[in-house]
Structure 1
C-alpha cells in the first residue's frame, strides 16, 4: 500500500450483532440466575455471591422506587469504595435511573455545582461521607433523599450516640462549682476566650428577648430542650404560663425544679434527650426553645428528627427558637454545624412553617459567639405529626432491608442514560458525558467475547468510580459471571498492598491507566516473585503507555497478555484496542490499535476529508459507542457530536449515525493500526514554533535509559516553556540510570533545537491522581518544591 493511499473501507468493517435490546441490569440479572453461587464482590472481609448481589440491588432499587426515583431520575454516588457502593450503582440502574459518580476528594463547591446542574434527586453515600453530604445537600433544591448504604441501624446516629456517656458528661458539668462553667461556658473554647459574667448575662438576655418576642401576650406554654443549669430558665420561666424544662442531666433538672419552686414559678422538669423531649407532653406548646443545644447533637439527621417532633407539638402561631447555631462556613467546629441553607430546605418541606434566619452584629459579640446565628420557625397553622420535615431524614440499609427483593417493574430501556461521568473541560467547567445502556452492552459484549472473560476471572478493582474504566470493571466482569475484588481507598496509595493482593489472591485481570501500573512495578521488581501465575490480562488505557512497560509487566507476570485500549469517555470507555505482543524499540509510542466491534474511526483533514495512510489528521469516532452528548450542554453537544457523512448504508438513526470529534491527532499506519499523536490542545507555541507535546514525549521515551516520561508546557513570565520529567531505567549493576545531560544529548539527536525541553528533571516516579492517570499539576508543584532529584538547563 502506498503512503498516499486512502485507508480501505475494510479497516472500519466492524459490524457485529449483539443483544441490542437488553440493558446492563438485565445482563447481570441473567448472570445471577446462571451462576447464583459464584463469588461476585469481595472486599477482603467477605464474599458476596451473584445471587446475593442481585437480591441486595433489587431491595435498594425497590426502595428508590418508593422514593419516586425511576426512569429519567439522576442519582449521585458519594461514597468510599466498597461492595455496597457497587451494589448501589447496580440498584440505580435497576430502578431505571441514571447514576452520577462523585469523587470524595472533590471540594464541596464542585460537588454542589454538579448536583445542581444535573438536578440530582437522590444521593447514595457511605456513613463516613455523611459530613460531606451535609455540607452540600441543603444547597441543592432537587436533592430530596439521601441513602446511607452501609448503615444497618434505622437512625444514622444510633450507634454513635452513647446516652449514658452523654448523661454523665452533662451531670458533671451541671455540678461544677463555677456558675459560668455549669452553664456551659469556659469549658475549653477553641478561641481561647474566657467569658466574663457580663458577657454571659448579655448572651442570656439576647436569648430571652428572642423567646419573649415569640411568646403570645400573657405568656403561653414553653418547652425548653437542654435547660442545663437553668441560666435561661430562671429568666424566662416567670414570663410563661406553663414551663417544661428537659435535660439529659438529672442533677441539672432537679436543681432547676428546686429554684423554680423557691421562686414560686410553675415548672415541670423531665430528664431526657432532645429526641425524647415531646414524649411526656400532653398539650400543645407556644414556644420550643433550644439555646446552645443543637451544636451538641450527633448529626443533622438528629436535628431533623427533633424539629419534626417539636413542630408537630406547636399550637397555631407557635414558634421554635434555635439560638446560637454554628455556621460551617466559619471553619471547623467540634460540634454540629448547621448550614443556613438547611432552613431554606425546611421551609420548602413544611409549607406551614415560616422561617427567619437572624444574623448577628459581630461588634456586639465576643469571640466565637459573633459568628453564630439564630433561627425562629413559626407555625402559621397546626403542623401535622407526619409533616414534610420527616422526609428530609437520611435512609439507611435498615430501611432498604425491609424492601422486597423482587424485580422492579418498568426498568430501563436500551436507549436510556445509564450513567453520566464528568471529564474536565477546556473552560474549567466539567462536562457530563451521557452514555446509554446499549453502548455499554456493546462494550461488554466485545471485551468479554474477544478476551474470553468468564466466571473463572477475578478483576482487581483499582479505578475511581469517576473514571469510566470503572464501568467495565464492575458491570463487564459481573456480566461474565466473574468476580470483582474491591480495593479500599486506603490501599490504593499503598503499592505494597496492591502487590500483596496480586500475589496472594487469584486475580486474573488488571485494568488501569498506565501510570497506576507503573507505580506498582518497582515494588514487584524488588520482591522474589511468587503467586504471579494467575494474572492473564493487563488492560492499559487513558494515557500514554511507556514503550518499555509491556515487557516489564510480562517480566513479572509471564502469563499476562497486555492490551492497550483507547477511545474517549464520550465513546463509552474504549472503542479501539491493540494487543501488545513484541515491542519494537523504535516505536515512538505503543500503537493506538484498531476499532472495536460496531465502532468506526476516521482521520480527517481540516476540510473533513479522509487523510491518506500515514498522514496526520484529526481523529473522529463513530458507531454504537458514541455517547448521547453532554448533560445540560446542547451547544457543546452539537459542536462535538456531528452527523457521520461516512456512515454505511443501513446504519440505525440516532447516536450510531453520528461521530465524535475527539480533539486528538492520529494517523493510519500501513498495517491498519492507528498511531496516536497527542491532543490538539497539546499543541503549544514555544518561541513562535508550534510544538506537539506528544511528539516530544515520544522522542524522550526513545532515549536510552528512560523508562517513562512526561512533557508539559507551563506558563512562565516569558511565555510557555517545555518542561520534561522522566523516570530513569536502572542499570544492570543497580546504578541510577541515565543522567539528564546524557538524555538531553540523545534528545538533541532526535528533535530540532526548539523542541528540546528547557527543563529536564529526574523523578523517582510520577504522582498518580484518583483516576490512576499522571497528576500533571502535582508533578509541576512537586518539582517547584524541590522534590525532583535533579534539574538541568
Structure 2
C-alpha cells in the first residue's frame, strides 16, 4: 500500500544460484559498520530419542550421517520459507565453509534431500562463503561468529540431543522471529526423520498449537449482524419505513426522500416484472451516477433480478461484450445513452422516455420472494484471457460486508457520503446501498464537475459530508487541493480507503485537515463482496513499508498458503486466500475459471472450507495482522482499478499491424504508476503509437488504456525463450516538435504537463489525451496550474496552446477564478 521498497525478495529466476533471502521484520538498508548481531538460544534441545523410526541414522552416525540429516532439514525449512524450488545458502561444517544448493521442489522427498546433503558434504569445500550468502547453517562449529550476513542457524549435536541457537542481524530481525524459526526447524526435523519418505511440501514446520492459532484463533470472526431478511433491498425498505421523510439522495437541486426512492423503485420493479424479469434475471444498468442509479438497482432486486452495472463511459465495444457475456434480458438506461449499448437487439427501459408508463405501475412492492443466497449483482472486472469476467455476488455476502462496516464504525442517520466511484467499481455499492441502508444520505457530484477536487471540497462543506469512500488516488487529489486552498474538510469523521496501496504519508495529511477523522484501510477482492480485511490507522510506524492490510472482517476468514496449498507460518510469504460469508458464487458462464479460483480446502482443524485464491502475496505478522506484498501474476492496479495485463495485450494485438504485445506497469505504486504497452509490428506494416492508442481506447475503458506505447521489432527474451520483462525498454521522452512553449501561460501549462507525465516538453498543439494523459493526470495538472480551475476546462482545451489561451481569457475577466468553484 505504499511506494516504499518491500521487505521480501521473490524466488530466484532461471539461471540464478537461488541464494535464500529470508523475509525480514524491518526493511533492508545499506550495510554499515557496527551493525548489531545477537544470539538467540533455544532453551529446549531436540532429544534424538524422540526422532522416531529414523533416529538411528542420526544417533549411530551411519550414512547419511548426522551432518547430512541436520543440513537437509535446514534445506527443507528454507524451501518452505522462501517458496523456491531451488535453495542455496552458506554452510559451515567440519569440512569447511561453502555454499550448498538443493533441488527442493514440492515433490522431492526428505530422503532425496538427505542424499543431496550427503553428496555435498563429502565434496571438498570450495573456499569461504563469506559475503556470498545472506543466510547460513553452522554445524557444531568452534567459531564464535558465523560468516553469514543476516542470519545463521547453529546446530550442535550432543550425545543424545541436538541443541539450537541462531546468530542474526538485530536491525533486520526481532528475537521472537528468530526463535520462531528455530522452533520451526525443530518441528520439521522431528517430522522429517520420523518419516524420510515424506515430500518437502508435506513437512509441517508449525506445531499443532501454532496451526490452531493461525487457522482458527486469527479467524475467529463469527459475529451476529442484524441482517433481518438477508436481502439488500429489504434493508433499504426497512429504513424507508422507519424514516420516510429523511433525505436519501442529494442530486444537484433534487432531494429524494427515502419514501420517494422506495416508491419509485417499487414502480420500476413492477414494470420490470411485466417485461419478464424473474428470479436472477440479469438486467443491465447503463446510467451515470445519479439518484436513478439507486432507484434502478433497488428495482431490479425487488423484481427478483440481478443488476449488471454498465458504465456509460466505457467504449461501446466493451459494453457490448459485457452484455453478450451476461446475456442481459434488458437494459435500464435513458434516451441519451441508448446508442452506447452497441447491440440494437437488446431491449431497453428508458427512465425518461418510458416515465409515464412506469409512473402508472403500483407504488407497493411486488410480491416477490428473494432469498439471501440469490444473486444481487454481477460486476465485471478485467480478465486475463482477453475478455472481461463477470463476478456473481449474493445478497447475503454483500449485505454482511455493508452491515459490518456500518455497525463497526457507527454509520447511521446524519452521515453523508459523496458518490465518487465509477458504477463499474464495487466501492460504489457502499456509497449508494451501504450508506442508505444505514439511514444516511448519498451526495451525487454534478456530472460536469464530477472529476473536480474543488467541487468535491465544496460539496463536503455545503452538505457537511461525514464519510469519505474512495481509492487512495482520488483521496490524494482532495487532500492536495485542500492543502493548497485551505478548503474545509473538518466535517469528515470517517474515511474508508481501499482498492490500492495507501501512501504512508496520507493518514497524517488527512488528519491535519480533519483532526477527528478515523482513517480505515480496507482490503479484499470483488470476488469476496467488496472488502474482507480491515485496519484502523491510528499511527504509521517509521519502519513500515506499507499500511497493514489488517485482519479479517466479520464472518470472513483469511489464509496464507504456499504453492502446495499448505498454511505458511507467520512472517513467511504466501498467497492470500479468502473465505467466509462474502464469497461470490463464481464467474458468470465460466465454470473452468470458477473451479480454478474457488475450491474446497481442508487442513488440520479446518474442514471443507471454500476458498477464493486472490493471487495476492501476503504474510502474517506475529499477532495475525496481514501485510500485502504484491502479486503472483501479472495483474496490476492502476489508481485502484484492477487490470489484467493479458486483457490489454489482447486488445492491442487485435490491431492488424501488431504481431505481439506485452503490457507492464511502470513506476512506483500510486499516482505515478502507469501502463506501458510494448508492441511488435508485423513485417511490412506501419503503425504509430497514436493509432494504437485510438484503437485500444475503442475497446477498453479509459483506465485500462496504456499511457505509453513502445514500438519494437522484437521482444527481448531470456536464454530459455521467455519474454524478459526486466529488459523491456522504457518509453522515450516526447519530442518537443512544437518548439519551446511561448509566453508565461504556455510555460505554466507545459511545465505542469511535463511534471505529471514525466515526459519531455510537449508541443503547443499536442493533444494531452493522445500522448498518454488520462482524467486523473488531468486533475493533478489542474491542481498544479490553479487549484480553483475546473478540470472541465482542461478537457475542453486539451493542448498547451488552447489551455494557455483560456487562462489568459480568465485572467483578463478578473482574478483568474471568476465563476469557478471555491
Under TM normalisation by the shorter chain, which class is it?
A: 0.5 to 0.7
Q: Distance in 1 between matches of 2:365 and 2:620?
A: 47
Secondary structure of 2:397's partner? helix
Q: Distance in 2 between matches of 1:569 and 1:559?
A: 30
- Pairing 1:58–2:58 present: no
Using a 3 Å threshold, how does the CA distance of structure 1 residues 714 and 117 change in structure 2: closer, same or farther? closer
Give the TM-score, by structure 2 length: 0.54
Q: Distance in 2 between matches of 1:586 and 1:714?
A: 35
Match of 2:245 among 37, 49, 65: 37
The residue correspondences of 1:388-399 to structure 2 (distance < 5 A) are 396-399=354-357
1:580 Cα offset (Å): 1.1
Using a 3 Å threshold, how does the CA distance of structure 1 residues 634 and 124 change in structure 2: closer, same or farther? same
Match of 1:123 among 319, 331, 350: 331
1:83 Cα offset (Å): 0.5
- The superposition leaves residues 515-557 of structure 1 with CA deviations (integer Å, 9 ceiling, x where unpaired) of 1111222211111343x22111111111111111111111222
Aligned to 1:24: 232
Contact 2:244 2:257 in 1 (8 A): yes
Q: Distance in 1 between matches of 2:779 and 2:629?
A: 18
Contact 1:713 1:722 in 2 (8 A): no
Aligned to 1:458: 416
Aligned to 2:220: 13
Aligned to 2:616: 664
Contact 2:228 2:235 in 1 (8 A): no
Using a 3 Å threshold, how does the CA distance of structure 1 residues 591 and 772 change in structure 2: closer, same or farther? farther
Aligned to 1:412: 370
Using a 3 Å threshold, how does the CA distance of structure 1 residues 786 and 501 change in structure 2: closer, same or farther? closer
- The superposition leaves residues 347-380 of structure 1 with CA deviations (integer Å, 9 ceiling, x where unpaired) of xxxxxxxxxxxxxxxxxxxxxxxxxxxxxxxxxx
Match of 1:85 among 287, 293, 306: 293
Secondary structure of 1:405's partner? coil
1:417 Cα offset (Å): 0.6
Secondary structure of 1:618's partner? strand
1:26 Cα offset (Å): 0.7
Aligned to 2:558: 601
Q: Distance in 1 between matches of 2:580 and 2:286?
A: 32
Q: Distance in 2 between matches of 1:94 and 1:63?
A: 11
1:87 Cα offset (Å): 0.5
Aligned to 2:596: 639
Aligned to 2:673: 710
Match of 1:551 among 481, 505, 508: 508
Aligned to 2:276: 68
RCO higher in 1 or 2 (8 Å CA, sep ≥ 6)?
1
Aligned to 2:442: 484
Aligned to 1:447: 405
The residue correspondences of 1:297-446 to structure 2 (distance < 5 A) are 396-446=354-404
Equivalent residues, number:
479
Match of 2:523 among 566, 569, 578: 566
1:587 Cα offset (Å): 1.6
The residue correspondences of 1:452-531 to structure 2 (distance < 5 A) are 452-530=410-488
- Pairing 1:615–2:587 present: no
Contact 2:601 2:607 in 1 (8 A): no
Contact 1:576 1:595 in 2 (8 A): yes
Structure (1 or 2) with the larger CA radius of gyration? 1
Contact 1:419 1:435 in 2 (8 A): yes
Q: Distance in 2 between matches of 1:466 and 1:773?
A: 21
Aligned to 1:679: 631
Contact 1:88 1:124 in 2 (8 A): yes
Aligned to 1:132: 340
Using a 3 Å threshold, how does the CA distance of structure 1 residues 662 and 552 change in structure 2: closer, same or farther? same
Q: Distance in 2 between matches of 1:772 and 1:93?
A: 37
Secondary structure of 1:601's partner? strand
Secondary structure of 2:284's partner? strand
Q: Distance in 2 between matches of 1:583 and 1:541?
A: 17
Q: Distance in 1 between matches of 2:672 and 2:729?
A: 13
Aligned to 1:592: 549
Secondary structure of 2:369's partner? coil
Secondary structure of 1:681's partner? coil
Contact 2:294 2:433 in 1 (8 A): no
Give the TM-score, by structure 1 length: 0.56
- Pairing 1:147–2:346 present: no
1:697 Cα offset (Å): 3.8
1:696 Cα offset (Å): 8.4
Q: Distance in 2 between matches of 1:712 and 1:21?
A: 44
Using a 3 Å threshold, how does the CA distance of structure 1 residues 773 and 20 change in structure 2: closer, same or farther? farther
Q: Distance in 2 between matches of 1:611 and 1:501?
A: 47
1:711 Cα offset (Å): 7.0
Using a 3 Å threshold, how does the CA distance of structure 1 residues 550 and 614 change in structure 2: closer, same or farther? same
Q: Distance in 2 between matches of 1:44 and 1:497?
A: 12
Contact 1:677 1:695 in 2 (8 A): no
Contact 2:287 2:312 in 1 (8 A): yes
Q: Distance in 1 between matches of 2:405 and 2:729?
A: 38
Q: Distance in 1 between matches of 2:334 and 2:262?
A: 20
User: Where does structure 1 lack aligned partners over 5 or more consecutive residues?
Assistant: 157-395, 652-656, 685-692, 702-707, 726-735, 740-758, 775-781, 788-793
Q: Distance in 1 between matches of 2:447 and 2:254?
A: 17
- The superposition leaves residues 665-714 of structure 1 with CA deviations (integer Å, 9 ceiling, x where unpaired) of 11111232111111222499xxxxxxxx999847xx9xxxxxx6537675
1:483 Cα offset (Å): 0.7
Aligned to 2:110: none
1:723 Cα offset (Å): 5.8
User: Where does structure 2 lack aligned partners over 5 or more consecutive residues?
Assistant: 1-175, 182-205, 637-663, 679-709, 717-724, 733-747, 752-757, 763-767, 781-794, 801-822
Secondary structure of 1:454's partner? coil
